[in-house]
């Protein structure tokens, strides 16, 4: 616990330390992520996405992260969701240090603490909308009846109760993304991570989905981090951060 990557910031590592008026839910300290150069280009060296990046997210906050394509926004979100490991630095979720996770811990974390929405809906095509929503609950061993009942509630929250028996191929783009939002939230996570959730949708549909995220964020007291290209949506968040030259500003 003592070694802290990129500790130049001298961050206070006590999680949930009262800072301003709200508790800290997530804190990234000195995050560095580099990728080995692909296609064997000798001498090109590694690609560095960000170095010594810090981020603090408070409870109930809705943070937007904007930035150019390829700036590493998605990679940052992967690190926050324990889908990937940083090259250096630490991510803390409450008192949990994500880089100390085993594979099992990381799976548990993703199943119970965070909900993840991708740019593309990524619904499983073999399953109905309802089954897709229930999937995270089934994965943790919840009984089928209970899982489906809870999934139905969340399908109702995104306004798609009448579509529960439809497969993803039978849903429109907006509906697919709403189902995937329900799937992210059915586990009642503390935090919602969304990677350009409206990026694939046309203006009107995007508005509907973003409005829904805002509504659920409010109603369920979520803490949310959204990556988006849409500056208008970003402006409607509590805080907007720009990822530029490997740093959040």
Partner 1 sequence: MRFELFIAMRYLRAKRRQAVVGVITAISVIGVAAGVASLIIALAITNGMRRDLQERLVGSTAHVELMRVKGDGIRDWRALLERLRGVPQVTAAAPGLYGQVLISRGARSGGALIKGVIPKDEKTVGDLLQSVVDGSADALEPVASGRAAVVETHVPEAGHGAAKSSKGAEEQQISELGEQDVRQDAAVDAQAQAEAARVLGAVAAVPPIVIGKDLAETIGAGVGDTVLVTSPQGELTPLGLVPRYQRFSVVGIFKSGFYQYDSSYAFMRLTDAQRLFHEPDLISVISFKVDDLYHADRVGVAIEQAAGAGFQTTNWMEQNRELFRALKLEQVVTFIVLALIVCVAALNILIALTMMVMEKTRDIAVLMSFGVRAEQVRRIFLLQGLLISVIGTVLGLVVGYGLSWAGGHYQFIKLDAAVYSIDHLPFAPKFVDALIVTAVSLGVSLVATLYPSGSAAKVLPAEALRYE
Contacting residues toward partner 1, per CB under 8 A: 74-75, 78, 81, 83-84, 103-104, 107-112, 115-116, 118, 120, 122, 124-127, 135-136, 138-141, 144, 183-184, 187
Three-class secondary structure of residue 55 per DSSP: strand
CA 111, 115, 116 angle in degrees (round to 5)? 110
Rounded to the nearest whole angstrom, what is the least distance from the CB of residue 19 to partner 1 in the complex?
29
Rounded to the nearest whole angstrom, what is the least distance from the CB of residue 134 to partner 1 in the complex?
10
In this complex, which beta carbon is closest to partner 1, that of residue 40 or of residue 145? 145
35-to-39, 87, 158, 203 alpha-carbon distances in Å: 12, 9, 37, 34
Rounded to the nearest whole angstrom, what is the least distance from the CB of residue 58 to partner 1 in the complex?
24
Calpha distance 249→244 (Å, rounded): 7
In this complex, which beta carbon is closest to partner 1, that of residue 63 or of residue 117? 117
In angstroms, how far is the first alpha carbon of the chain from the final one?
A: 28
How many CA within 13 A on the CB side of residue 36?
4
Rounded to the nearest whole angstrom, what is the least distance from the CB of residue 115 to partner 1 in the complex?
8
């Amino acid at each position: 616990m003592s070694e802290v990557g990129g500790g130049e910031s001298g961050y206070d590592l006590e999680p949930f330390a009262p800072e301003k008026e709200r508790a800290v839910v997530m804190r990234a300290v000195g995050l560095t992520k580099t990728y080995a150069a692909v296609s064997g280009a000798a001498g090109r060296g590694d690609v560095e996405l960000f170095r010594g990046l810090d981020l603090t997210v408070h409870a109930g906050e809705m943070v937007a992260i904007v930035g150019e394509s390829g700036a590493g926004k998605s990679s940052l979100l992967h690190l926050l969701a324990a889908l990937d490991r940083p090259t250096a630095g630490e991510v803390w979720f409450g008192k949990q240090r994500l880089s100390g996770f085993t594979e099992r811990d990381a799976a548990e974390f993703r199943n119970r603490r965070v909900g993840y929405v991708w740019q593309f809906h990524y619904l499983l095509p073999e399953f109905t909308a309802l089954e897709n929503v229930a999937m995270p609950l089934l994965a943790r061993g919840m009984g089928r009846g209970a899982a489906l009942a809870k999934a139905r509630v969340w399908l109702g929250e995104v306004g798609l109760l009448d579509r529960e028996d439809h497969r993803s191929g039978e849903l429109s783009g907006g509906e697919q993304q709403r189902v995937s939002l329900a799937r992210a939230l059915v586990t009642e996570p503390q935090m919602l991570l969304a990677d350009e959730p409206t990026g694939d949708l046309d203006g009107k549909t995007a508005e509907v989905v973003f409005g829904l995220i805002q509504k659920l964020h409010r109603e369920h007291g979520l803490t949310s981090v959204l990556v988006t290209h849409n500056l208008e949506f970003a402006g409607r968040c509590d805080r907007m951060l720009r990822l530029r030259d490997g740093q959040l500003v």
